[in-house]
Amino acid sequence: MGGEVKAPKIGERAAYSRFTQQELPACKPILTPGWVITTFIFVGIIFIPIGLASLFASERVVEIVYRYDEGCIPTNYSDQKLAYIQNSTTNKTCTRSLIVPKQMKRPVYVYYQLDNFYQNHRRYVKSRSDKQLRSNASEGDTSSCDPEGVAPDKHPIVPCGLIAWSLFNDTYGFLVNNEALEVSKRNIAWKSDQEHKFGSDVYPKNFQSGGLIGGAKLNDTIPLSEQADLIVWMRTAAFPTFRKLYGKIEMDLEANENVTVVIQNNYNTYSFGGKKKLVLSTTSWIGGKNDFLGVAYLTVGGLCLFLAISFILVYVVKPRQSRKKFGLLEKHKDYVVRAQAFHKKEEAYGEKAAFRNPDEFYFKMIKTRTIDGVHKLESQANKYTPEELMLIKTQDIGYVLQKVQVKKRLSGWIDGYGGVWVIYGREMALGFTREEEDGER
């Protein structure tokens, strides 16, 4: 009876691949002086123009930064800032004038900047429920939102957690020539956040209803997917000083123009020594004002050019001494001699390896055995040391024992089946089954 051959288990087969055997193509460049100098010059020529372009683009960005957390404190509360911000009856309105230094073309982005505010704190970052934010069906998932998970009446807070509870609640109004400027909230949040992280069927419930004084309140009639300020705030910052987009002014601001800003100073940063700043900024092809990128490119490019010039001077002033000065052969002859020596060593290693590898030894030596099981090579005592002769014997016996063990393991696979096995590159033809063998006998 014929049948399919059972494949050996993966763990019992010899694993072989070009990667595991380190046979993949490799390249190891020779670091000649010319190659190194050329590389440094190339990197310097590429990096320096990019750095200059980045600095020029950053320089074209017009930015106005105004810190108002201290300037908006009344004089009678100058020593009681915390009492002022926590008193709900005090007037928090603050009016300031800003001068536009250069023309600011639309759109003008409005940011609020907080300093010494650690949104990356582990407990703060984990205090939210992404399932609750995505779907109305997970409204009760508030296990990770303590201490702002449920209201005093034990109903879930939506959105829950410390991040939403501490939502920034300062507001800004702008006037130019006594005309109000509209601050647009359109597209200030990431589109992916609006579509995938905040559900259109999730509405605020019991928000800011606890005993702790939090931040801004949310409109209960607007779904979370349309609450742009909340979505921007919920994307936590990695550093204690950060900016978040408040809105956009869709009109140009001319140079030396006076912009009146009406600020509602509601957010409490006085209890932890934080700072609040209002930022008006334009953008360029690299984004906002940021000199770091340009300085980094210029530094790397300048360093590469400096190293290239240094290597050139060293190579010219003190060149590498030639081979002829040391009495060596010419380069091409030297390569030939070195290659020949390498091949001789390779052959010597191959001969030694033949006595260490059972497969190589067995198929090379099995035909030299006599009837008594003694190798003919043992008679050539002048060619082999006693240690090498003992190695020949032990390796041969070890190989035979290894083959017996392999045969026992394979007996379960080939028992009762026919087929062809290929083991270590040698084909073993099994053209009959055990039943056919018994019939022939």
- Res 282: pLDDT: 96
- Give the residue-averaged pLDDT of 21-27: 81
- Res 392: pLDDT: 57
Torsion of Cα atoms, 239 then 240 then 241 then 244, to 10°:
80
Which distant-in-sequence residues (6+ apart) come within 8 Å of 391 by Cβ?
355
Whether residue 380 has pLDDT greater than 80 = no
Highest mean pLDDT among 234-243, 314-323, 343-352, 373-382: 234-243
Query: Quick one: how far is CA 259 from the chain centroid?
Result: 43
Q: What percent of the chain has pLDDT over 90?
A: 52
Whether residue 281 has pLDDT greater than 90 = yes
- Res 411: pLDDT: 61
Chain segment 211-237, per-residue pLDDT in tens: 677 889 999 999 999 999 999 999 999
Chain segment 316-331, per-residue pLDDT in tens: 887 766 545 444 445 5
Which distant-in-sequence residues (6+ apart) come within 8 Å of 378 by Cβ?
384, 389, 392
Query: Residue 71, SS3?
Result: coil
Q: Which tokens in the block code for residue 410?
A: 């394979």
Whether residue 48 has pLDDT greater than 50 = yes
In the chain, what are the domain boundaries? 31-61+287-320, 62-282
- Res 437: pLDDT: 43
Q: Is the dihedral of CA 184, 190, 196, 202 positive or negative?
A: negative
Banded pLDDT at 285 (limits 50, 70, 90): very high
202 with 134: CB under 8 angstroms?
A: yes
- Give the residue-averaged pLDDT of 423-434: 38
Total count of residues recorded for the chain: 441
- Reported as type and span, the H/E element at residue 171 is strand 171-176
The burial of 266, by beta-carbon neighbours within 10 Å (0-12 exposed, 13-18 middle, 19 or more buried), is given as middle
Distance between CA 160 and CA 218 in Å, rounded? 12
Whether residue 141 has pLDDT greater than 60 = yes
- Res 22: pLDDT: 80
- Give the residue-averaged pLDDT of 19-42: 85
- Give the residue-averaged pLDDT of 186-196: 93
- Res 329: pLDDT: 45
Whether residue 424 has pLDDT greater than 60 = no
Q: What is the pTM of this model?
A: 0.66
Highest mean pLDDT among 212-221, 249-258, 394-403: 249-258
262/384: higher pLDDT? 262
